[in-house]
Amino acid sequence: MTVSDGKVTISMDRLTGFHGPDLHDLCDAAEAAIRDGGGFGWLSPPPRQTMETYWQGVLLVPERELFVGRLDNTIAGSAQLVRPPRNNEAQSLTGQLTTFFVAPWARGHGLAAGLVSQVEEAARQNGLRVLNLDIRETQARAIEVVEQSGYVRWGTHPHYAWVDGRWVTGFYYFKDLIGNGALPQGD
């Protein structure tokens, strides 16, 4: 998906391999988001080799799909769809939206909403009916995006993460992907 307003061009796509500056750009965007407090578990950027190894590993996991958002062809954010392993039949219709971030310098152009939409579409294509995600309370913009995208907050965890010497609350969300607002009974 590519959109241009004449000033900037944004696009979202599934990344299945690294080409040109992709790995470098993805690491730069992730490091910027981590420094801004929007890390996906990291509180400070790890060494570059660790970051590169992490992203390369994501592409090797069969149950993961990596989506990137680009601003003027430069990777500026990501989100992942994680499907349950085959042996988890009980949760075979649910997926996880994770590792969701947009670098601070690329915010305000619709990348976050675009990434959420891309993950949802991939989930539907994979036969999933529900997406789950969790977010630290300090991530106000991410919370706004997922709530505007129709995710329902179903839980709060007061000891979700330990950040800067204190507990941070986290919120749990789900979205019904079949679109009727209710989950089917007995399906």
Q: Where along the chain do its domains lie?
A: 9-176
- 37: confidence class by pLDDT, cuts 50, 70, 90: confident
Q: Give the C-alpha separation, 65 to 47, whole Å.
A: 24
Of 45, 109, 42, 99, give the one whose Cα is nearest residue 74.
Answer: 109
pTM over 0.85: yes
β-partners of residue 164 are: none
| 3-class DSSP assignment, residue 60 | coil
The residue-averaged pLDDT of 9-24 equals 96
The residue-averaged pLDDT of 166-182 equals 86
Q: Give the C-alpha separation, 168 to 31, whole Å.
A: 21
- 185: confidence class by pLDDT, cuts 50, 70, 90: low
pLDDT of 154-163, one tens digit each? Answer: 999 999 999 9
Cβ within 8 Å of residue 7, ≥6 positions away:
none
pLDDT of 39-48, one tens digit each? Answer: 678 899 999 9
β-partners of residue 14 are: 67
pLDDT at 133: 96
Say if residue 4's pLDDT is above 70: no
Pairing type for strands 64-71 and 9-15 reads antiparallel
pLDDT at 40: 77
**Stated length of the chain:** 187
In angstroms, how far is CA 35 from the centroid of its own chain? 17
pLDDT of 92-130, one tens digit each? Answer: 999 999 999 999 999 999 999 999 999 999 999 999 999
The residue-averaged pLDDT of 25-42 equals 90
**Integer distance in angstroms from the first to the last C-alpha of the chain?**
32
Structure tokens at 11: 């696009």
Per-residue HEC secondary structure of 85-106 comes to CCCCHHHCCEEEEEEEEECHHH
The residue-averaged pLDDT of 51-74 equals 97
CATH number of 9-176: 3.40.630.30
pLDDT at 7: 83
